[in-house]
Structure 1
Amino acid sequence: MFNVDITGEFIAFFAFAAIMIGGAVLMISLEKVVHMVISMAAVFLGLGGMYVLLDAEFVAFVQVLIYAGAVSILMIFGIMMTKHSGESEPVRPLHEALVAVGALSLFGLFFYAIRTTDFPDAAAAAPAEDNTMAIGELLFSGYIVPFELLSVLLTVAFIGAIALAKKEAE
């Protein structure tokens, strides 16, 4: 039914998929929040590897740098600097059953969508010579105003966060 050539790219895809799925399962099943963040970082690293397989090196670099690095470290610092009570939420079997039904339904929907989709031939969609250069040219020519507005927005959010933290310290 399936005619698949076992290549290095094929093996790497399943290795990254296993890392991502394993990290996601550990993320929702571990008890300690720090361990959950480390599992989430594994998912981010696996996603970065998937981007490399898709010839999107710039997106992979940004994924690893920002999400696997900065966001994970920020979450760990946030967890370490806040107070936590030792109480855990009670187990609710009805909620767990509903979540299981929802997850299986989502899996079925994805499986149906993937099986019924006609994917284009991989040879027909050749990647650009240098996709990082193409992203940079597009970003600094066609999207310069939104890029600059985003930098102003992030600066204002950073200053606001500092002002709120300073107010709480006083």
Structure 2
Amino acid sequence: MTISGEFLAFISLALVAVIGGVLLLNLTKVVHMVVGLVFTFIAIAGIYILLSAEFLAVVQILIYSGAITIIMLFGIMLTRHNDEESDSKGGGWKKVLLFLGVLAFGAAFYIGIYNLDFGTEPAALHEKNTEQLGVALYSDFVIPFELMSVLLLVALVGAIVLSRNDGEKEGDKE
């Protein structure tokens, strides 16, 4: 097996993504967790670039690394939360069991994909990626696309209804 630059780039981006996810789960301050999440999002965008999916990489950086992270930071800063660390019993055993679980998952994943064969069907992967994505989205997947827009609209209306104060409701006009 020859080690290419693409392989090294993938390994380094995958390590950054996994380390960002682990930091997200293990840090105690919420803003630090968001920084770990940003590292994961940017590493995933780098993996998209390695897969010649430049449009998805740009969307990943613009939407997730930018907008979603800013929305999460605003949500964190506008809500009350306790940054005090709670004492948990059995923390050492939990970490050992978690590590063993991660190793078992990694081993099962490796065994599952080791001899996986996708066939040798030729595909034009590097030609007009954005055009192919648009054609597929608006021809084959137009109904799920529209249903997702309705779902997002319902979520927005629900968030507005839930965020109203009790004094702003129509029945409380006295």
TM-score greater than 0.5 by the shorter chain: yes
Cα distance in 2 between the residues matched to 1:88 and 1:161: 30
Counterpart position of 1:45: 42
Amino acid at match of 2:101: G
Task: Note the residue ranges of structure 1 that are not aligned, 5 or more in a row.
Answer: none
SS in 2 for 1:83: coil
Distance 1:125 1:145 in 2: 26
Name the CA distance, whole Å, in 1 between partners of 2:130 and 2:45. Answer: 15
- RMSD, aligned CA: 2.4
Q: Using structure 1 for the length normalisation, give the TM-score.
A: 0.83
Question: Deviation string for 1:121-148 (max 9, x for gaps)?
Answer: 7x95440511210111122222223222
Does residue 1:14 correspond to 2:19, yes or no?
no
Normalised TM-score (structure 2): 0.81
Q: CA deviation at 1:120?
A: 5.5
Name which of 70, 75, 79 aligns with 1:73: 70
Amino acid in the other structure paired with 1:162: I
Runs of 4+ in 1 over 3 A off after TM superposition: 118-121, 123-126, 167-170
Distance in 1 of aligned mates of 2:43 and 2:135: 28
1:153 aligns with 2:151: yes
Q: Structure 2, unaligned stretches of length 5 or more?
A: 169-174
Q: Label 1:59 to 1:83 Cα distance change in 2 as closer, same or farther (>3 A).
A: same
The alpha-carbon distance between structure 1 residues 10 and 80, as it changes in their structure 2 partners (threshold 3 A), is same
d(CA) in 1 for partners of 2:96 and 2:12? 30
Q: After superposing the two structures, state which structure 1 stretch, 127-136 or 106-115, moved more.
A: 106-115
Say whether 1:82 aligns with 2:76.
Answer: no
CA distance in 1, matches of 2:124, 2:142: 27
Shift of 1:97: 3.1
